[in-house]
Amino acid sequence: MVDVLDNKRAATRFRILVQIAERQPAVSQGEIAGEVGVTSQAVSEYIRELVDDGLVEKEGRSRYRVTREGVDWLFRAADDVRRFADHVTGDVLGAMSEDAYIASADIEEGETVSLSVEDGLLHAVPGSEGPATGIATTDAAAGTDVGVTSFEGVMELDPGSVTVLQVPSIRTGGSRAIDDDTVTEACDEADIVVAAGVEAVVACRQAGTDPDVTFAVGDVAADAANHGLEVTAVATTDAVGRVTDALRDADVSYEVLEG
């Protein structure tokens, strides 16, 4: 493993090799010195070492090229940097970040809370019984928002799915061409109903269902499913493609039903 973050010299060596790769074959040591924050003499010494180690080859005066071995070394070093950055952002900063949850009961600042997702929203309850926990940063009465930090564990969340019900366009009959019972059956078991297109909105209302959302339907349906909700998207035939495109982009499970 190439530990480019172990010390300043290793980090400088990495940065200079990157600069050579970006500028090759015409390499200005003065420009590299300005970018890296060392003297031109220091850059010259680093380049000489890189040549001796077989990571860089000299092609002429002020002309250098990174060798295949140098490229491999850069890949390994970049992986080390990436893994360290992932550790910082995911493990360190993730644990230090603060998010808002809905308090399922009265909570006191500093109390350990168990975390869950209910109806697509984040909830916290006093105690440490759940698979995911945190520390409350504020007092909160039941039903109000509470700050939580110092997260541990993983919240259990089964992703939801989307049922897309097609409604004919006005050219082929619109809402009149779909049976109310078909719409009702598709919407009855859903946690959230969204509708795309005038014909779809009217079909829902005629069946006694008022859609929760009528704009950006694909994105909303995908986000709701990713929060564990079961979604029915009633969509005019002309709008079905836009809805399913958003669902595919979000890698959400869905099925399309003919109206």
Domain ranges of the chain: 8-94, 97-153, 162-257
Q: At 1, is the pLDDT very low, low, confident or very high (cuts 50, 70, 90)?
A: very low
Mean pLDDT, range 239-252, rounded to an integer: 95
Separation of alpha carbons 194 and 252, rounded Å: 15
Mean pLDDT throughout 136-159? 90
pLDDT digits (tens, 9 = 90+) for 48-86: 999 999 999 998 888 999 999 999 999 888 888 887 777
Domain 162-257 is of which CATH architecture?
3-Layer(aba) Sandwich (3.40)
- The predicted model gives 159-184 an average pLDDT of 96
Tens digits of residue pLDDT in 100-130: 999 999 999 999 999 998 888 999 999 998 8
pTM over 0.85: no
- Tell the CATH topology of 8-94: Arc Repressor Mutant, subunit A (1.10.10)
6 confidence band (pLDDT: 50, 70, 90)? confident
* 18-to-10, 184, 190 alpha-carbon distances in Å: 12, 61, 53
Residue 91, pLDDT score: 59
Q: For the residues of 187-216, what is the DSSP string, one character each?
A: HHT-SEEEEESHHHHHHHHHTT---SB-SS
- Whether 8-94 and 162-257 share one fold: the answer is no
